[in-house]
Structure 1
Amino acid sequence: MYHLLEQRLREIDTHQLHPYLRNARTGLEKESLRVNAEGRLSQTAHPPVLGAALTHPWITTDYAESLLELITPPQERAAQSLDFLLNVETFVYQQLDQELLWTTSMPCVLAGEDDIRIAEYGSSNAGRMKHIYREGLAWRYGKAMQVIAGIHFNYSIDDTFWQPWQQVQGDTGELRTFRDAQYMGLVRNLQRYGWLIIYLFGTSPAICKSFLGGRTPPEGMEAFNAYTLYEPFGTSLRMGNIGYTNSKENKTGVKVCYNTLESYVSSLRHAIATPCAEYAEIGVKVDGEYRQLNANILQIENEYYSTVRPKQPLQGFEKPSDALEKRGIAYVELRSIDVNAFHPAGLTHQQLFFLEVFMHFCLLQDSPLVSAEEFAAINQNQMLTAHRGRDPEVRLSCLGKSVLLREQARELLQAMRPVAEMLNAVHSEECYTDCLDNQIQLAYNPDLTPSARMLAEMQAKQESFFAFARRKSEEHRDYFLQRPLDPALEAVFQQQAVDSLSRQQAIEASEKMDFDSFLNAYLSGTLDDKKN
């Protein structure tokens, strides 16, 4: 099963390609809800002292006005991306007024849909489009799912690696075509083996009852106490049937294909261009107010809630699918990572090192095309791991065979050891095998997983999910308030905030196109040909 992986590792060693792997780039995106002193969702606007959410490169908002998103630029080492994230969050915390950043993926107490204020981005056409897109999500799926927080791990292989690697593989085609095919193989394996991240990193086995808004709890969910619901073997309810999934995929007909970049772009475009009767009933522009960007299966590409995305940085008002078609894949975004409540950054250095191992394993491991049957199995494996990952009897479907999750996790992790050893050699460090040993312990002892630790701590302290999350949030607030920030770096953050406000004002002042024309031009892919 791992013959091709072993062959490729030998080729890297034989052809001395280690230096070309040294400068891989890592970026992080972390979402956190702002909550007030009572632990309720903040109703205040995005603080101006943090800058403009529309134009700030590092501090923005996701779905809600209270859902902060902190972004790191690409860093040469994964550890540096975590350091940058810590610095950004330190700056943010030292600007907030009596507010907490919620330190778990599942939200705090919600007082219904009206409690969630959709993010605002100013009066510019781009700002209005971002807001209306989120209005559309509310009409289509409800607001509660949209305020679940997570961490996205962005990773790219150094561009200098691809040409010598192409030569070693005996490929004589276009370099970009080769690179895109290699990245799509990585993407397919991230899906194929992605359940492992849910098991190892999942930290959302419980929720506040208020999250369901009075709805009947799904089958398998039990009462932990008067205020908390949980799943005894759950790892990541965020990635389960109440959270971050395309629950309406089969109903609305989204069929995204990951076998080639061309099929991926084509299938996304098809969903964006195909009308949906259910969404047409909502209406697009009703009484002069937009409810959604359009009534198609997907409003835009980002509405498709995949666990992994091939990405290309956008230029101007470019659509993601157009950017991929024009310039190919620049990096891959893994989106299935829960916020780790046990660390102020929401992620540890060891977890980051393991993600690097996992990325390279998925790149070098054989990655056959995904059939419709396997795609269904991939989704089922994800669901089973999210809801029952620590159940000793739970079985997954892998390559058409039914296997115990625990045994498959151990086998996969052991297969990654040569990859970890390769990365040790690339960086002249031992951290990669060390982090792998740590994750192997979790495969042999599920009680060591973050999800099990969370439930054990709640049980030991006889506290609800809300009480646990609030206590951890307060601990992390104290950490950031006491954490020193280099004055020169603080000045950089302050200047970025000021500059972002100026950029938003300049955009709003310079626009000449009305919003209807802007939206039509964007959706048709002709906006760059017009003057906004």
Structure 2
Amino acid sequence: MHLSQLFSERIAALQAASWNSTIVGIRRGIERETLRIKPDGRLSQLDHPQALGSALTHPLITTDFSESLLEFITPAQSDIEVTVAQLTDIHKFALSKLANEQLGAGSMPCFIEHQDEIRLAYYGTSNVGRMKTVYRQGLKNRYGSMMQAISGVHFNFSIPNEFWQHYQQLLGDQSDLADFISAQYLGLIRNYKRYVWLIVYLFGASPAMCKSFLQGRQSKYAFETLGKGTLYLPYATSLRMSDLGYTNSAQSALNVSYNNLPDYIKGLQQAITTPSAEYQDIGVKVDGNYQQLNTNILQIENEFYSTIRPKRTTQSGERPTCALAKRGVEYIEVRALDVNPFSAVGISAEQMRFLDLFLLYCLLQQSPTMSAEQQEVADQNLRKVVTDGRRLNLDLQDGAHPRLMQDWAEQLFAELMPIAHWLDGAYGGDQYQSVLKHFYLSLLDPGKTFSGQLLAKLKASQQDNSQFSLALATQHQQTLFAGEYQFYTEAEFLQMTTDSLGAQQQIEQQDTLSFDSYLAQYFVENAAKLCDK
């Protein structure tokens, strides 16, 4: 049966189904990273503000790699407007507690002269807090800190259980429901890897960067220059997603498979237990100071840089792979999103709706298994769109044949339309169809993509990327301060601050093991043999 024929039959069955309402329960959560910067654009050297609570235990406000890299997290929620309101409130509150600082508006950092300006995130004196900092020390020693100063947005997405129960019946599947859900999410992930170039084409927003990011290193890219210190590629969409950013040559040999959950877990567990000759040279504890958690290819699972991850909420001290092995996939984390510099909160409701359509397409379309070679072809397609996505007549590889990106994207948009009809029927209104038409304009005119708009503005004003980003940061700050709280109250935020500081103190007081013993126990208790169901 032809792929799209099967897909059409599934869509027809879904549109005819009386259980349309179950899809309205899709839950989404956002993790948005942003650097605290001084008025001149330089990186803040101040500690994580105590007024924002504990980065270790606060439910909504934490830090990522560095002390200055804030991460805002919205709880899983089934209403997009509520998610946007929550994210807006978190930004507003955080900004109100910063001393003469702003929040960076884009993905690529500027004005960092030396990586030692990037202070590792500190989580207090508890064992779990220290482990987080040592992990970051390992990242610094392995990849350098500049890569870790890049900001992104992660989109967490889960489909309601009621939908899965009906969908399993529709497909005539007899397996255990949890196993069925995991297999379906892995199928979604494989298709996402095949088509993620479309997301980067539309939403990539880092075609330019500050020269300081290279720190004197040679680059294989033929950059053009703008202003005093801006480098850009004329057709680039996302330098953040290029090998200047979040990629890792040591990981390219891992070949983690997404064909089924056991294989995925096995691949990751192999990486977190296999020593790396390169990282052994760094050492673990040198002169009494930890330089990394261990010398394995990955210190822990989080070090695996992927454009998407299957996830399961972990219990305290539990490794992500063990949680997946015991309880299956609960949601997926989309990790290919640049910060949207035109949004005060880094992502828009329109983008979230488009991601709903795209991810459901990846689920409903047939998803054959992928060999290592096929994964490499998908990665090559992504790399082409990252550096050259807005070039007319760009070829990608579709199976054994080259294919014009434009034609392929046209087909994907055509196949997204029935999903938009279905969702609009379920939700009421026409928002999904409107979003599809809106982003279709970016297909007709590459200048309408985020990267195209950004580069056009830089060229028109002959302005440096850094100055443009600073102006956007100021504009976003004013927008956020002008608005009222929509979901949370200031009193609730102040309470979360107090509660999180108290929770951190409690964790620190309850520690009984030495840090050495804690680490040893963590890695032993979570060894593969204890991950069995």
Normalising by structure 2, report the TM-score. 0.97
Residue 472 of structure 1 corresponds to 472
Unpaired segments ≥5 residues, structure 1: none
Deviates more, 1:398-407 or 1:104-113: 398-407
Residue 426 of structure 2 corresponds to 426
Distance apart, 1:278 and its partner CA: 0.5
What's the CA shift string for 1:278-332, capped at 9, x where partnerless?
1000001111110000000000001011000000011111000000001101100
Q: Which amino acid aligns with 1:271?
A: A
Q: Is the 8 A contact 1:94 1:480 kept in 2?
A: no
Residue 54 of structure 2 aligns to a residue whose secondary structure is: coil
Residue 34 of structure 2 aligns to a residue whose secondary structure is: strand
Q: Is the 8 A contact 2:27 2:76 kept in 1?
A: yes
Q: Is the 8 A contact 1:410 1:444 kept in 2?
A: no
Q: Which amino acid aligns with 1:405?
A: M
Residue 33 of structure 1 aligns to a residue whose secondary structure is: strand
Residue 278 of structure 1 corresponds to 278
| Aligned with residue 207 of structure 1, among 206, 209, 234 | 209
Q: Map 1:442-481; keep pairs closer than 5 Å.
A: 442-481=442-481
Aligned counterparts of 2:369 and 2:344: Cα–Cα separation in 1 = 39
Residue 128 of structure 2 corresponds to 126
Residue 324 of structure 1 corresponds to 324
Unpaired segments ≥5 residues, structure 2: none
Residue 315 of structure 1 aligns to a residue whose secondary structure is: coil
| Aligned with residue 234 of structure 1, among 236, 241, 248 | 236
Distance apart, 1:79 and its partner CA: 2.7
Residue 147 of structure 1 corresponds to 149
Distance apart, 1:78 and its partner CA: 2.3
What's the CA shift string for 1:333-379, capped at 9, x where partnerless?
00001111111111112111111111111111111101111100111
Deviates more, 1:517-526 or 1:408-417: 517-526
Residue 58 of structure 1 corresponds to 60
2:326 pairs with 1:341: no
**Identical-pair percentage:** 43
| Aligned with residue 8 of structure 1, among 10, 17, 41 | 10
Aligned counterparts of 1:77 and 1:367: Cα–Cα separation in 2 = 28
Aligned counterparts of 1:187 and 1:77: Cα–Cα separation in 2 = 23
Distance apart, 1:526 and its partner CA: 4.8
Q: Is the 8 A contact 1:196 1:409 kept in 2?
A: yes
Indicate the RMSD between aligned Cα atoms, in angstroms: 1.3
Deviates more, 1:348-357 or 1:141-150: 348-357
Distance apart, 1:4 and its partner CA: 1.8
Distance apart, 1:167 and its partner CA: 1.3
Q: Is the 8 A contact 1:233 1:389 kept in 2?
A: yes
Residue 410 of structure 1 corresponds to 410
Q: Is the 8 A contact 2:152 2:337 kept in 1?
A: yes
Normalising by structure 1, report the TM-score. 0.97
Distance apart, 1:486 and its partner CA: 5.6
Q: Which amino acid aligns with 1:366?
A: Q
Residue 108 of structure 2 corresponds to 106
Residue 249 of structure 1 corresponds to 251
Aligned counterparts of 1:519 and 1:452: Cα–Cα separation in 2 = 47
Q: Which amino acid aligns with 2:259?
A: N
Aligned counterparts of 1:309 and 1:280: Cα–Cα separation in 2 = 27
Deviates more, 1:323-332 or 1:15-24: 15-24
Distance apart, 1:488 and its partner CA: 6.2
Aligned counterparts of 1:300 and 1:12: Cα–Cα separation in 2 = 40
2:220 pairs with 1:218: yes
Distance apart, 1:110 and its partner CA: 0.6
Q: Is the 8 A contact 1:18 1:426 kept in 2?
A: yes
Deviates more, 1:509-518 or 1:27-36: 509-518
Distance apart, 1:259 and its partner CA: 0.5
What's the CA shift string for 1:388-439, capped at 9, x where partnerless?
0001132111222211112211111111000111110110121000000011
User: Per the alignment, do residues 180 and 486 of structure 1 end up closer, same or farther by CA in structure 2, a change over 3 Å counting?
Assistant: closer
What's the CA shift string for 1:169-228, capped at 9, x where partnerless?
111111111111011111111111111110000000000000011112332322223300
Residue 485 of structure 1 corresponds to 485
Distance apart, 1:90 and its partner CA: 0.8
Distance apart, 1:16 and its partner CA: 2.2
Distance apart, 1:494 and its partner CA: 0.9
Q: Map 1:362-381; keep pairs closer than 5 Å.
A: 362-381=362-381
Q: Is the 8 A contact 2:255 2:372 kept in 1?
A: no
Residue 513 of structure 1 aligns to a residue whose secondary structure is: coil
Distance apart, 1:487 and its partner CA: 9.6
User: Per the alignment, do residues 382 and 126 of structure 1 end up closer, same or farther by CA in structure 2, a change over 3 Å counting?
Assistant: same
Q: Is the 8 A contact 1:319 1:525 kept in 2?
A: no
Aligned counterparts of 2:487 and 2:75: Cα–Cα separation in 1 = 20
The list of structure 1 runs, each at least 4 consecutive aligned residues, that deviate by more than 3 angstroms after superposition, is: none
Deviates more, 1:346-355 or 1:122-131: 346-355
What's the CA shift string for 1:2-37, capped at 9, x where partnerless?
122111112213332311111110000000000011
Residue 25 of structure 2 aligns to a residue whose secondary structure is: coil
Residue 191 of structure 2 corresponds to 189
User: Per the alignment, do residues 282 and 479 of structure 1 end up closer, same or farther by CA in structure 2, a change over 3 Å counting?
Assistant: same
Aligned counterparts of 1:405 and 1:108: Cα–Cα separation in 2 = 32
Aligned counterparts of 1:168 and 1:37: Cα–Cα separation in 2 = 57
